[in-house]
Amino acid sequence: MTDTPEGNTTPEGPRTVPGPSNPQPPAEVPWPRTAGDREARAGDLSDSGPGALDEAQLSGHGDMDPESFRRAAHAVADLMADYLAGVERFPILPDVEPGDLRRQFPAAAPEQPEPVGDVLADYRRLVEPNITHWQHPAFFAYFASSGSGPGILGEMLMATLVGNAMLWRTSPVATELEEVTIGWLRRGLGLPEAFDGFFTDSASTSSLIGLAGARQSVPGMDASGDGLAGHPGLRIYASAEAHSSIEKAAMTLGIGRAGTRRIPTDAEYRMDTAALEAAIRDDRAAGNVPCAIVSTIGTTGPTSVDPTDELADIAEREGLWLHVDAAYAGATALLPERRAPFAGWDRADSIVVNPHKWLFTPLDASLFLTRRSEVVRAAFSLVPEYLRTLDRVRDVHDFNEYTPQLGRRFRALKMWMLLRYFGLEGMRARLREHLALAARLADRIDAEPDAERLAPVPFSTVCFRWRPARFAGREDEPEVRAELDRLNTALLDAVNREGRVFLSHTRLRDRLTLRIAIGSIRTEERHVTLAWERICEHGRRLAQA
Ligand SMILES: Cc1ncc(COP(=O)(O)O)c(C=O)c1O
């Protein structure tokens, strides 16, 4: 029995969170395995099954001994493979209410060691079924973040080595493999050698770093040295559709939300360059200091594409930093035939592309590239004595000097493994497949009299709503607007509750908009078809209600 935060006790057996859409996987204890080859691989587990503590736990010092670790690692590998093989049996959203899960875990940490087998059994029972299944092939919400097999293997090895890439000295191969894989990606994306870079945890961090570079580049001020006090307000320009991480970066950098100018977009949700130029003019006239333009290639809602080439002209003329947020869509620059949306991004000062969105890399990995690494370094470099490498004979990358944090994960390892496993051609084939799936879905929506597509589909995300034909031509009448919002909210809820596919929404021109974002490495045509069938069925039912 286990104490819960409420002081209740729960039986050891699985507490099945009720609901027909939440079938629990068998509460089988993965340790010891009994079936054939697994048993052989795991070795003789007779004295280390559930309930048994290993030597290190009994002795009270040192880590798990290598043989216990080996057996546990085999059991974990089986859990991982079983999960990936069977992920479709789960409802994508677990059928739980807030607090349901916390109650099933003890409020206090165990005083005494617990057998690994028991911990893994609880993982299987309490953790695995109650995650939102990002690895499910019908995960179409937000942007996918799917972990490929070789990427996951890389994560396992990263965790084993704890290769901290903060200094070259603290992990030479982590630093140099990062340089190598950054070069592979840069060349793959068709960007010139002038771009240097590194991996961060997220696009939010990459944009923060890019915009810190922008702030550092403002003539007449040294933001990292002197701070912002006494300087006029800095201004950053991003479209109304730019991701909130841009505003968050401004909040963090002392520029503030007030310093972030959201520029209106045109009919296709692209930044209006005339409005941008007017905003820059107004800001200069008011004594503020324009600092950076953010061009988004693949905005989060409609996946629109800002006119980066024109924005690069304006940035050049105005002496501003150009940051390109291609967190989602940047992956498609691997396809030479799909580079048109990227025209001008080679003129950017900094760029972000997220491998953990559409390059099949397990969270986390964001690629940050810059043509002005010395400015970025000036924004973040601070080397206390203990981090100086005294015997250094030649210049190396100490990547911590370019980032807010010191310790850095060895993300290049998983990138290297998955790029070798798939090859660039393998990556391209998968991206092309996703683009084709999205194009076919857009065709089906266009052919459906009761649906309406709400944005172009430049990549793999389709924005639409259910719009019964009887409302065609009357969409802007206030009552019809409200009715369509209600209908699509109910539709989203009905589809997601079933757990067979998972969609998310946005608002475009103040219309509740459904999104199907294709990007999971496991998605096939049948999953997209299922999503469309579920939408049509619920759409028709709700429209009649
Ligand atoms: C265009 C864009 N930029 C930035 C982000 C933030 O990504 P991350 O979660 O890696 O910070 C997102 C997230 O969806 C995005 O769509």
Among the three residues 362, 389, 409, which one is the final residue of a domain in this structure?
409
Banded pLDDT at 22 (limits 50, 70, 90):
very low
Q: Is pLDDT at 28 greater than 90 in this prediction?
A: no
CATH code, domain with 53: 1.20.1340.10
pLDDT at 34 over 80: no
C-alpha of residue 353 to centroid of ligand 1, in Å: 9
Is residue 159 one of the residues assigned to a domain? no
Q: Is the CB of 204 under 6 A from ligand 1?
A: yes
**Is the beta carbon of 373 within 6 A of some atom in ligand 1?**
no
Contact 104 CB / ligand 1 (< 6 Å): no
Strand 234-239's sheet: what is its strand order?
196-200, 366-370, 350-353, 321-325, 289-296, 234-239, 260-263
Residue nearest to atom 16 of ligand 1 (CA): 300
Residue 41: pLDDT band with limits 50, 70, 90 = very low
The total number of structural domains that make up the chain: 3
- Whether residue 136 lies inside any domain: the answer is no
Mean pLDDT of the chain: 91
Q: With beta carbons less than 8 A apart as the criterion, state whether 316 and 323 touch.
A: no
Positive or negative, the Cα torsion across 270, 276, 279, 284? positive
Residue 364: predicted pLDDT: 97
pLDDT tens-digit map of 384-430: 999 998 877 778 999 999 999 999 999 999 999 999 999 999 999 99
The confidence score (pLDDT) of residue 395 equals 85
Q: How far is the CA of 368 from the centre of ligand 1 (A)?
A: 13
CATH number of the domain encompassing residue 509: 3.90.1150.10
pLDDT of residue 545: 78
**pLDDT of 521 above 70:** yes
pLDDT at 40: 40
Predicted confidence at residue 482, as pLDDT, reads 97
- 195 vs 207: CA distance, rounded Å: 16
Q: Give how far Cα 90 sits from Cα of 15, 137, 516, Å.
A: 16, 11, 20
461 and 377 share a domain? Answer: no
Which ligand 1 atom sits closest to the C-alpha of 204?
A: 11
Same domain flag for 424 and 405: no
- Selected residue with higher pLDDT from 34 and 344: 344
pLDDT value of position 70: 97
For the chain, counts of helices (H) and of strands (E): 16, 13
Whether 404 maps to a domain, the answer reads: yes
Q: What share of the chain is helix, strand, coil (3-state, %, to 5)?
A: 45, 10, 40
Q: Is the CB of 504 under 6 A from ligand 1?
A: no
Of 360, 390, 409, the one marking the end of a domain is: 409
Q: Are residues 97 and 196 in the same domain?
A: no
Do residues 376 and 213 touch, judged by C-beta distance below 8 A? yes
CA distances from 176 to 343, 396, 419, 436, 515 (A): 30, 9, 16, 36, 40
The CATH number of residue 307's host domain is: 3.40.640.10
Q: What does the pLDDT average to over 134-161?
A: 97
Query: Region 293-314: what's the mean pLDDT?
Result: 98
Region at 473 (left for phi over 0; alpha for psi -120 to 50; beta for the rest):
left
Same domain, 434 and 388: no
Residue nearest to atom 13 of ligand 1 (CA): 300
Ligand 1 site, residue 243, Cβ cutoff 6 A: yes
Cβ burial of 118 (10 Å; 0-12, 13-18, 19+) is middle
pLDDT band at 52 (very low <50, low <70, confident <90, very high): confident
Whether residue 118 has pLDDT greater than 90:
yes
202 lines ligand 1 (CB under 6 A): yes
CB 259 within 8 A of CB 236: yes
Q: Do 393 and 429 fall into the same domain?
A: no
pLDDT tens, residue by residue, 198-228: 999 999 999 999 999 999 999 999 999 999 9
Q: Which atom of ligand 1 is the closest one to the Cα of 299?
A: 1
Amino acid 86: pLDDT: 96
Ligand 1 centroid to residue 245 C-alpha, Å: 7
532, part of any domain: yes
For the Cβ of 295 lying below 6 angstroms from any atom of ligand 1, the answer is no
Residues 298 and 433 in one domain: no
pLDDT digits (tens, 9 = 90+) for 320-377: 999 999 999 999 999 999 999 999 999 999 999 999 999 999 999 999 999 999 999 9
Between CA 377 and CA 374 the distance in angstroms is 5
Q: Cis omega (within 30 of 0) on the bond before 364? A: yes
By residue range, what is the domain housing residue 114?
Answer: 2-7+20-130
Q: Is 140 domain-assigned?
A: no
Task: Mark which of 130, 155, 185 sits at the end of a domain.
Answer: 130
Flag whether 92 is in a domain.
yes
Any domain includes 486 = yes
Q: Look up the pTM and report it.
A: 0.91
255, 374: one domain: yes
Residue 262's H or E segment, with its range, is strand 260-263
Q: Is 325 in the pocket of ligand 1 (CB under 6 A)?
A: yes
Structure token pair of residue 499? 């757990």
Share of the chain above pLDDT 90, in %: 88
Q: What is the pLDDT of residue 51?
A: 62
Q: Measured between alpha carbons, how far is 458 from 270 in angstroms, rounded to an integer?
A: 12
Q: 144, 517 in Cβ contact below 8 A?
A: yes
Same domain, 226 and 102: no
Taking residues 459-473, report their average pLDDT: 98
- Does any domain span residue 14? no
Of the chain, the percentage scoring pLDDT greater than 70 comes to 91
234 and 359 both lie in a single domain: yes
224 and 334 in a single domain? The answer is yes
Are residues 320 and 226 part of one domain? yes
Gyration radius of the chain over CA positions: 26
How much is the pLDDT for 16? 35
Rounded to whole angstroms, what are the CA distances from 138 to 110, 354, 454? 38, 21, 22
Same domain? For 437 and 396 the reply is no
Q: How far is the CA of 238 from the centre of ligand 1 (A)?
A: 14
Ligand 1 atom nearest residue 364's Cα: 10
Residue 245 Cβ < 6 Å to ligand 1? yes
Six-digit token pair at 124? 């299987």
